[in-house]
Chain A
Amino acid sequence: MNQGFRAQAFRDPAAAQRLIDAAKGAARKPIAIMEFCGGHTHAIMRYGLRDALAPEIRLLSGPGCPVCVTDDSDIDLAIALGKHPDITVATFGDMVRVPGTGGSLADARAQGASVEIVYSALDALDLARAHPDTNVVMLGIGFETTAPTIAAAVRAAAEEGLTNFFLLSLHKTTPPAMRAILDGGEVHVDGVLGPGHVTAITGADAWHFLPVEYGVPCAVSGFEPLDILLSVRDLAVAMTERRPAVINAYRRGVTAGGNAVARQLMAEVFRSSDARWRGLGVIPASGLDLAPAYAAYDARHRFSVEAAVSAGPSAEARGCRCGDVLRGVIAPPECPLFGRACTPTRPIGPCMVSAEGACAAHYRYGRSLS
C-alpha cells in the first residue's frame, strides 16, 4: 500500500512520544478536550493515549456513538416494526443488541421477529429485490458519515420503482449535539477533537461555530494514534496562544467544504427535524427525516405501528448512567454498574453494547489502568 495511507506509518511510538511531550509542554494549565466521536474514544483507549496525556490534558468522551444515542422509544418502534408479519427490519449489526424498554432487536428476533443484519444499505435494497412479497424497512442509524449512504439507497429505490423498501430514519447530525453539550454547561470543555469521517462529508467549515461562537478550538482528527496526538498538540497550542480556530489535522481525508455530492444528496432526500438523543433529550434540528418528495419511502407514514409500551424498566431505571457518560459528565468507571452488573457480555446500557461505546472501550482497554 502507498506509504502515505498505511496505518502503520501513523503509529510510530517515537513520534507519538514527541507529540505527547509537545502537547503537554504547550498546555500552560490543565486542559479538557472532548473527543466527539466513539471511533476516537476506541482508538484513545486502545493505544493508551488517555493515560499518556494525563494529568496535563484530560480527554473526555462525548456523544459520538450513533447506536448509544438512539432513544429507547426509537428502539421500541424498530422492534414493533420487526414483529409486524409483513415486515423485515434490516439493520447494521451494532444495533441488534441495544436494549429498548422491553428488550433488544436480538431478543425480538429470538421470539420470531424478522430482523436481518446488513453491512450496507445496498444489501437492504438487494433484500427488497429478492423478496418482493416482503416489506423491507432499513433502520437508518448514524451521523453524517452514514446518512448519505442511506440517502443513496432511498434514491436508488425511487429510481428503480421499488415499492417494498422503506426507511425508518433515526439519523442525527453532530454539530447541534456539540452545541447542546456546550450550552448545557455541565462539563467544562476547552477544545474539541472533531470527528474525522463525519467531517469528510460535512467539511471542516461545519465546525466554525465552535471558535466563533464559543471561543473553543476544534481540531478535525483522523483515527490513528499520531493523527489524534497531532490534533491534541494543535489544540493545546491554540488554547495557549488564545487563538481558537478550526484546525484540519486530517488533511488527507478531509477538506474545508467536505463531500459536495454527498451533501447535495442528503439535502435532496432528507429534511432537518428535531430528534431525541439518549442523555441529551430533544435537540432542535438535529435529526434527518425523509423529505416530502420521498415520503412514500417513510416507514413511519407507511406502517401505523405503535411501539409496544413495555412494562419492563428502561436501562436508566436500572441504574445505568449512559446518559451522563454521553454528555461527558462522568467517565464510565464512575457508573456503579460498570464492570459489575454491566459488562460487554451482559450489557445494561448501550454504551457497553456498542463496540465503540465509551463503556465498552473503557472495559476492554482501560480496566487495569483505572
Chain B
Amino acid sequence: MCLAVPMRIESIEGTQALVDMGGLRREISLVLTPDAQVGDYVLIHTGFAISVLDEQEAQETLALFAELEEASREMDANQGRES
C-alpha cells in the first residue's frame, strides 16, 4: 500500500506534472513537493510526488556497494597469498 516508484518530471504546469518511467507517462500532483523541478526524480504514491530523490545520496549508496565489492576482492586476494 505504501508502494512508491521513482519517476522523472518531464514538465510542470501549476501544481500538476507529467512524469515518465521508461516510457510510461502519468500526470501527477506536486502539491506535496512544491519545490520539485523539471528533470528531478520523484517518488510517486497514489498520484502524488511525496519526495524528491537525492541523486548524490543515491550515487553514494551505490559507491558503498562498490567499496564492499572491492574490499571483499582484496580479502580474497590476501587469503590467496596466505594459503
Interface residues of A (CB under 8 A from B): 1-5, 9-10, 12, 14-15, 18-19, 22, 37-39, 64-67, 92, 94, 119-123, 141-143, 145-146, 148-149, 152, 195, 197-198, 200-201, 226, 230, 251-254, 259, 261-262, 265, 354, 356
Instruction: Say yes or no for B37: interface residue by CB 8 A criterion.
Output: no
A254: chain B residues within 8 A (beta carbon): 51
B3: chain A residues within 8 A (beta carbon): 39, 197, 356
Instruction: Say yes or no for B43: interface residue by CB 8 A criterion.
Output: yes
Q: What residue in chain A is nearest B47 (Cβ atoms)?
A: A120
CB–CB A2/B32 < 8 A: no
A4 to B66, CA, bound (A): 13
CB–CB A4/B59 < 8 A: yes
Known: A200-B51, A252-B54, A254-B51. A119 touches B46 (CB 8 A): yes
Q: Per DSSP, are chain A's interface residues mostly helix, strand or loop, or mixed?
A: helix
A356 to B1, CA, bound (A): 7
CB–CB A1/B51 < 8 A: no
CB–CB B72/A252 < 8 A: no
Known: A39-B2, A251-B60. A197 touches B43 (CB 8 A): yes
B55: chain A residues within 8 A (beta carbon): 2, 4-5, 252
Number of cross-chain contacts by CB at 8 Å: 135
Instruction: Say yes or no for B38: interface residue by CB 8 A criterion.
Output: no
- For A18, give its contact among B6, B31, B45, B68 (CB under 8 Å): B68
A70 to chain B, nearest CB (A): 11
B47: chain A residues within 8 A (beta carbon): 119-123, 149
CB–CB B45/A197 < 8 A: yes
- For B54, give its contact among A18, A94, A251, A262 (CB under 8 Å): A251
A18 to B73, CA, bound (A): 10
CB–CB B2/A5 < 8 A: no
In chain B, positions 1-29 with a C-beta closer than 8 Å to chain A are 1-4, 6, 8, 21-22, 29
A145 to B3, CA, bound (A): 9
A159 to chain B, nearest CB (A): 11
